[in-house]
Chain A
Amino acid sequence: MDLLSKFYFNYSKIIKTIKIYLLLAGPGLIVMIADNDAGGITTYAATGAKFGYSLIWFLVLLGPVAYFIQEMTVRLGAVTKHGHAEAIFSAFGPFWGWFSLLDLTLVNWLTIITEFIGMTAALSIFGIPPVITVIIVIIVMFGIVLSGRYWTWEKITMAFCLVNLIYIPAAFLVHPSVADVLRVGLIPNFPGGFNGTLFFFMMANIGTTIAPWMIFFQQSAVVDKQMKEKDIPWGKFDTMIGALFTIVVAVFVIIVTGTLLYGMDIESAAQAVHVIMGTHQWVGTLVAIGLFDAGFLGAICIALTSSWAFGEVFGWAHSLNYKVKEAFWFYIFFFFGLITAGGVVLIPGAPLVLITLFVQVVAVTLLPAALVFLIILLNNEEIMGKYKNTLFDNAANITIVVFIIILSTLYGLSTVFPNLFG
């Protein structure tokens, strides 16, 4: 009887913990999974095709890197109740504020274009014309965002996050050798030696794992969700689960393309889908659905990031808890970004490849600044009080930030100067 009551007590405790987590889950999970956007899936697909399973270990290492950066935004948002854009204006003045806000808006808008490229390419596999895809996507996003409640938006978006896991069944369908995945993938190695191509791919994977919009998004989402200091441990846990998910998805994309396309040069996820469709129709279908979902999640989150940032700085009502008439400019900005980005994809002969490359270049002008501001703010006792960075936080975060700044800069430069690494 005693054993039974103990079991029931523990069971109730676990259920209660899960319920609390489900209430507080959201920003961390969404930002991390949306990070596997159309560009991210393309990078993982190309990495798997080029190097097989060899770089899985590297992606596994990027999980903690993403976690350490993003958990800082949880603390900053919960303590200050301000988004990152407003925090930069407030702490560093108008010069750095405008620089960050305008750079963020530009890089976000360009990234949304790449999300639409991914979505239209994915659905074109099923014979759906790009114009129909763009219209339907914008209407669905209207529907989700105009619910007038942050909670509703968050839970619907989390359902889309679950679709991102579609790469797991896709990987099982290609019957990879588990022994090979573990042996080749998890033991650190540099396939073909540490050369320029390998370095470029490693930098590209870092570039997709940490993007500037993620910092702004999660902090604003934490504020919109009205998380408080006492919720920080849950916010960190949510971010950790998100980081785990993002790496799991990335690894399974690599397993799919590493098994089916090994040795091929893949330039886009859509190209990978086309090739896979030729031999494994079901796998190709799953990958296409995953690519669409990745673009969808990326577009809705990134467009919101810009709206939140502008709303914070311009003093507009800027919460998903408001109806359209209460936060008119917030919603107008959101849809203007989406509609114009979707429109660009439909322009015949639009320089889409150039736009994709340009995203990486513009991102390297913003990412270092956003990271440096984050570290400075998290070390300020006036702002953070007892939640400021500890010595361990700083040792980990500063090392990661320096590492990311160097590699993302080299990545951006290698896009502009293609012969930089031979």
Chain B
Amino acid sequence: MTARERFAGGRMGNFIRDFTGKISSINQRYEKPKIKLSRGAKLALLFLEIYLIVLVALLAYRFWTIIHGGT
């Protein structure tokens, strides 16, 4: 490995470390939601979760049928 490659590799390593560190700090900063959710809001979020799970399942099913030769 040349000095230039080591230098580039080192910089890339630093960048990745900085980036993952930043993501961790964002996760910590917002770990505890800052507002108190009402029962209606919690219900809406639950609905949203179910909605997304069903939607992703449908899309995954469609993707599966396409790669298995469906139309």
Distance (whole angstroms) from the CB of B24 to the closest CB of chain A: 10
Asked if B48 contacts A416 (CB within 8 A), the reply is no
Bound-state Cα–Cα, A383 to B30, Å? 16
Quick one: given A89-B26, A314-B26, A361-B59, are A368 and B51 in contact (CB under 8 Å)? Answer: yes
Q: Is B36 an interface residue (CB 8 A)?
A: yes
Interface 9-residue window, one of A9-17, A121-129, A268-276, A372-380: A372-380
Range of interface residues on A (Cβ < 8 Å): 20 to 34
**Inter-chain contacts of B36 with A (CB < 8 A):** 382
Distance (whole angstroms) from the CB of A370 to the closest CB of chain B: 10
Distance (whole angstroms) from the CB of B51 to the closest CB of chain A: 6
Contact of B35 among A313, A383, A413 (CB under 8 A): A383
Quick one: given A92-B45, A369-B48, A375-B44, are A413 and B58 in contact (CB under 8 Å)? Answer: yes
**Inter-chain contacts of A209 with B (CB < 8 A):** none
Q: Is A97 an interface residue (CB 8 A)?
A: yes
Q: Which A-chain residue is minimally distant from B55 (CB atoms)? A: A365
Interface size on B, residues (CB 8 A): 24
Q: Is A399 an interface residue (CB 8 A)?
A: no
Bound-state Cα–Cα, A192 to B16, Å? 58
**Inter-chain contacts of A314 with B (CB < 8 A):** 22, 26
Q: Which B-chain residue is minimally distant from A412 (CB atoms)? A: B55
Bound-state Cα–Cα, A93 to B28, Å? 10
Interface string of A380-422 (1 = CB under 8 A from B): 1011000000000000000000000100010011001100000
Q: Is A188 an interface residue (CB 8 A)?
A: no
Q: Is B5 an interface residue (CB 8 A)?
A: no
Contact of B26 among A92, A94, A377 (CB under 8 A): A94
Most buried by B among A382, A412, A416: A416
**Inter-chain contacts of A136 with B (CB < 8 A):** none
Q: Is B52 an interface residue (CB 8 A)?
A: yes
Asked if B55 contacts A382 (CB within 8 A), the reply is no
Distance (whole angstroms) from the CB of A157 to the closest CB of chain B: 30
Q: List residues 37-71 of chain B with CB under 8 A from any CB of chain A.
A: 37-38, 41, 44-45, 47-48, 51-52, 55-56, 58-59, 62
Contact of B62 among A368, A375, A379, A417 (CB under 8 A): A417
Quick one: given A365-B56, A409-B55, are A379 and B41 in contact (CB under 8 Å)? Answer: yes
Asked if B44 contacts A93 (CB within 8 A), the reply is no
- Chain A: interface secondary structure? helix
Asked if A416 contacts B32 (CB within 8 A), the reply is no
Q: List residues 1-46 of chain B with CB under 8 A from any CB of chain A.
A: 22, 26-27, 30-38, 41, 44-45
**Inter-chain contacts of A375 with B (CB < 8 A):** 44
Quick one: given A90-B30, A94-B26, are A372 and B44 in contact (CB under 8 Å)? Answer: yes
Distance (whole angstroms) from the CB of B41 to the closest CB of chain A: 5
Asked if B30 contacts A89 (CB within 8 A), the reply is yes
**Inter-chain contacts of A369 with B (CB < 8 A):** 48, 52
Bound-state Cα–Cα, A95 to B36, Å? 17
Interface string of A83-97 (1 = CB under 8 A from B): 000000111111011
Q: Is A227 an interface residue (CB 8 A)?
A: no
**Inter-chain contacts of B41 with A (CB < 8 A):** 376, 379-380
Q: Which A-chain residue is minimally distant from B62 (CB atoms)? A: A416
Bound-state Cα–Cα, A413 to B61, Å? 12
Asked if B31 contacts A93 (CB within 8 A), the reply is yes
Q: Is A364 an interface residue (CB 8 A)?
A: yes
**Inter-chain contacts of A377 with B (CB < 8 A):** 35
Q: Which B-chain residue is minimally distant from A413 (CB atoms)? A: B58
**Inter-chain contacts of A413 with B (CB < 8 A):** 58
Bound-state Cα–Cα, A412 to B56, Å? 12
**Inter-chain contacts of A364 with B (CB < 8 A):** 55
**Inter-chain contacts of B35 with A (CB < 8 A):** 90-91, 377, 380, 382-383
Distance (whole angstroms) from the CB of A153 to the closest CB of chain B: 27
Q: List residues 140-166 of chain A with CB under 8 A from any CB of chain B.
A: none
**Inter-chain contacts of B31 with A (CB < 8 A):** 93-94
Can you list 15 residue pairs at the A/B interface with Cβ under 8 Å? Answer: A91-B33, A92-B45, A93-B33, A94-B26, A94-B27, A94-B30, A94-B31, A97-B26, A314-B26, A364-B55, A365-B52, A369-B52, A377-B35, A379-B41, A416-B58
A residues adjacent to B (C-beta < 8 A): 89-94, 96-97, 313-314, 361, 364-365, 368-369, 372, 375-377, 379-380, 382-383, 405, 409, 412-413, 416-417
